[in-house]
Amino acid sequence: MASTTIASAAPLRLAAWQPASMLDWPGRIAVTVFVRGCPFRCAYCHNPDLLAPGAQTDCAALLEHLQRRAGWIDGVAITGGEPTSDPALVPFLRALRELGLPAKLDTNGGRPDVLERLLDEQLVDMVAMDVKTVPERYDALTGMPGSARTVIASAKLVIGSGVPHEFRTTAWPGALTLDDFPRIAASLEGGQRYVIQQFRAERTLDPAAAAVLPFKSDALHAAARACSPYVPTVVRGAA
């Protein structure tokens, strides 16, 4: 039975996969799957090579690994790019369910319709969702008209789902001010965790984005304290 669904799940727009990682799903040994394609164009994107959808790819080696190692790994972390932009995501997640493998989804929240389906079918066990900035700055950052509206809808779905989750903001000063963090947190009231991630000027979609000076660490921690009355907030990547 499992092999039938597994076969029909392929091919994803698979960019790459890692056989085991402890970084992508904290506390778990997970296979990490990178899916191509994202309709947003955030200037600071660290994975610009994954933004074009590209061709769907044969997933035979990945699927064989998952079948063989299902008893040895704690789950599958699916990231990108933007996994919800791949029509093969839903059958792929169904196949993971048949294998008894928990799934974590990283998403930009731009496809509430897909997210709703995944949550309704109980196909994901953890959601990590970006909330990149306040609504009035969203479209300028993502290059996608209406992106704020879709992300607000997705956040509501995630909060109401009961599925373990966290929301994340990359603290890129080109897209938000320190005062924006508590505004974002207030919009996430009822959420389980809010993570403010320090911006690292490594590889970026727009080379000019790397020249923007990051917020100071103590300023981010102060912002996190201002957010915590709304949703438990932590800072990642800043001392």
Q: How far is the CB of 159 from ligand SF4 (least distance, A)?
A: 20
Among candidates 12, 127, 126, which has minimal Cα distance to 63? 12
Distance CA 169, CA 86 (A): 23
43 sits near ligand SF4 (criterion: CB under 6 A)? no
Q: How far is the CB of 237 from ligand SF4 (least distance, A)?
A: 15
At 33, list the tokens. Answer: 């799957």
Q: How far is CA 110 from CA 4, 38, 50, 144, in A?
A: 30, 9, 16, 9
Q: How far is the CB of 13 from ligand SF4 (least distance, A)?
A: 13
Q: Are 236 and 198 in contact (CB under 8 A)?
A: yes
47 sits near ligand SF4 (criterion: CB under 6 A)? yes
List 43's β-bridge partners, or say none. Answer: none
Site string for ligand SF4, 63-82 (x = CB under 6 A): -----------------xxx
Site string for ligand SF4, 180-219 (x = CB under 6 A): ----------------------------------------
Among candidates 152, 128, 158, which has minimal Cα distance to 138? 152
Q: What is the widest separation between alpha-carbon atoms in the chain?
A: 54
Site string for ligand SF4, 84-123 (x = CB under 6 A): ------------------------x---------------
Among candidates 231, 42, 77, 78, which has minimal Cα distance to 155? 231
According to CB under 6 A, which one of 41, 65, 156, 236 is a site residue for ligand SF4? 41
Q: How far is the CB of 116 from ligand SF4 (least distance, A)?
A: 19
Contact set with ligand SF4 (CB under 6 A): 38, 40-42, 45, 47, 51, 80-82, 108
